[in-house]
C-alpha cells in the first residue's frame, strides 16, 4: 500500500501537526443571565453550573472571565412579571435592569465585547417575540419596538446588537435606526436561521420567558428546512448584518456549513441551553467523559464553519485548559 492514512495519526505530535480545526477563546461568546437585586446568584435548575446574576455579581463574573481570556459576552435579562406589558416598554426604559447592566459592564470593563439581545419575549406579557393582536404576531408593528430597543442598547454601550426575534425586515430597520442616530460602528449579529426548536426549554426557564399561549412556529423556522435558511441569511446580509447566526447549533451543523459556503460574512452558532443541559445530564450520570464530550461539541461547530460560538461551556473549557 502506497497510501496509509494512519501514518498521520501515529503520534500526538503528528496528530496536532495535521489538525484542521482549532477552537480558541477568541471564538467563544459566553451568554450570561441577569436578575434584579443585590448580591444575587441563583443557579438555573435545568442548567447545572449556570447562574442568574445581579449586576454586582455579573461584574465579578465578567472580571473572572476576562482573566481567562474570555472577552465576549451576550447578556439576557430575567424581567419581573409586573414590568411586562403587551408592547415590551420595559425593554427601552432608561433605568431598566438590562440597560443598567450594559452601562455598568462597559463602564467597568470597556475592553469587553458586549452583545445584546433584541427581542420582545423577555419583556412581553404575552411571552412572544412580537406584538400580539387577536392571537396573531404582528410583524411590521413590532419593528418599531425592536428599533427603540436596539437604539437604547447602543446608547448604553453595546458593541454588537443581536436581534433574535425573526421578524421580517428587522435587520434593515435596526441598521437604519442605528445609522440615523450616529451608531454606524455598532455591529449587528443577526439570528438569521433561528429554528422553532425543542432545545430552548432551559433558557426559557432561566428567563421565565416562555410564550403564554401557542408556539413560535409562525416566525421561527421549520426544523425540516435547509434552503429556507439561505433565503433568511441572504436577506439579512443585504439589509446590513455583520454576522449571520444559526440557532441551535448541534442539530443544524449542515445549516452552518450551508450558510458558511454561501457568504463572506462571519457565521455564528448558538450552542443552546438544551444542548448544554443534555450533555451535562449525561456527564452527571457518568455516561460521557466531560472534557472529551464538550471539546468535541465545540470542535464540531467550528468545523462546520462557525467563526463565533455562543456557548454555556465557554468559561469551563478555559478554566480547565481544555482547548
DSSP string over 33-83: EE-SSSS-EEE-TTSTT-EEE-HHHHHHHHHHHHHTT--EEEEEE---GGG
Q: Which residues contact 154 (CB under 8 A, 6 or more apart)?
A: 161, 178, 181, 183, 186
Grid coordinates 447592566 are at which residue? 101
Given a contact cutoff of 8 angstroms between Cβ atoms, the answer to whether 236 and 265 are in contact is no
> Interior CA angle at 29 toward 296 and 156, to 5°?
170
Cell numbers representing residue 152 in the block? 437604547
171 CB-side CA count, 13 A:
25
Given a contact cutoff of 8 angstroms between Cβ atoms, the answer to whether 79 and 122 are in contact is yes
Name the catalytic one among 10, 84, 106, 194.
194
Q: How far apart are CA 314 and CA 318, in angstroms?
A: 7
Beta bridge partners of 309: 28, 269
Name the catalytic one among 10, 86, 217, 247.
247
218 CB-side CA count, 13 A:
13
Question: In angstroms, what CA-CA distances link 306 with 72, 99, 189, 207, 262?
Answer: 15, 29, 13, 26, 13
Given a contact cutoff of 8 angstroms between Cβ atoms, the answer to whether 311 and 23 are in contact is no
Known catalytic residue at 194 = yes
Known catalytic residue at 86 = no
Q: How far apart are CA 246 and CA 306, in angstroms?
A: 9
**Cβ–Cβ contacts within 10 Å for residue 218, how many?**
13
63 annotated as ligand-binding: no
Residues of each annotated binding site:
232
Residues noted as catalytic: 194, 247
Q: Known binding site for Mg(2+): residues?
A: 232
Amino acid at each position: 500500500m502506497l497510501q496509509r492514512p494512519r501514518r498521520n495519526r501515529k503520534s500526538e505530535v503528528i496528530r496536532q501537526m495535521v489538525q484542521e480545526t482549532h477552537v480558541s477563546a477568541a471564538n467563544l461568546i459566553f451568554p450570561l443571565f441577569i436578575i434584579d437585586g443585590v448580591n444575587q446568584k441563583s443557579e438555573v435548575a435545568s442548567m447545572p453550573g449556570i447562574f442568574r446574576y445581579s449586576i454586582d455579581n455579573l461584574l465579578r463574573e465578567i472580571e473572572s472571565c476576562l482573566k481567562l481570556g474570555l472577552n465576549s459576552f451576550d447578556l439576557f435579562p430575567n424581567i419581573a412579571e409586573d414590568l411586562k406589558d403587551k408592547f415590551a416598554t420595559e425593554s427601552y426604559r432608561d433605568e431598566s435592569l438590562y440597560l443598567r447592566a450594559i452601562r455598568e459592564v462597559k463602564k467597568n470593563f470597556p475592553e469587553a465585547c458586549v452583545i445584546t439581545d433584541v427581542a420582545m419575549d423577555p419583556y412581553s406579557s404575552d411571552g412572544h417575540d412580537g406584538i400580539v393582536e387577536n392571537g396573531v404576531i404582528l410583524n411590521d408593528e413590532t419593528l418599531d419596538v425592536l428599533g427603540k430597543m436596539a437604539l437604547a442598547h447602543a446608547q448604553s454601550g453595546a458593541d454588537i446588537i443581536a436581534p433574535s426575534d425573526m421578524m421580517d425586515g428587522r435587520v434593515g430597520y435596526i441598521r437604519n435606526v442605528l445609522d440615523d442616530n450616529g451608531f454606524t460602528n455598532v455591529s449587528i449579529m443577526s439570528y438569521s436561521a433561528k429554528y422553532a426548536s425543542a432545545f430552548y426549554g432551559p433558557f426559557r426557564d432561566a428567563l421565565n420567558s416562555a410564550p403564554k399561549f401557542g408556539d413560535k412556529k409562525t416566525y421561527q423556522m421549520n426544523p425540516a428546512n435547509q434552503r429556507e435558511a439561505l433565503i433568511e441569511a441572504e436577506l439579512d446580509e443585504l439589509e446590513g448584518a455583520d454576522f449571520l447566526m444559526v440557532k441551535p447549533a448541534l442539530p443544524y451543523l449542515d445549516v452552518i456549513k450551508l450558510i458558511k459556503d454561501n457568504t463572506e460574512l462571519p457565521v455564528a452558532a448558538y450552542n443552546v441551553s438544551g444542548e448544554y443541559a443534555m450533555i451535562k445530564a449525561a456527564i452527571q450520570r457518568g455516561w460521557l467523559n466531560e472534557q472529551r464530550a464538550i471539546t468535541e461539541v465545540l470542535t464540531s461547530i467550528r468545523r462546520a464553519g462557525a467563526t463565533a460560538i455562543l456557548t454555556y461551556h465557554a468559561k469551563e473549557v478555559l478554566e480547565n485548559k481544555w482547548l
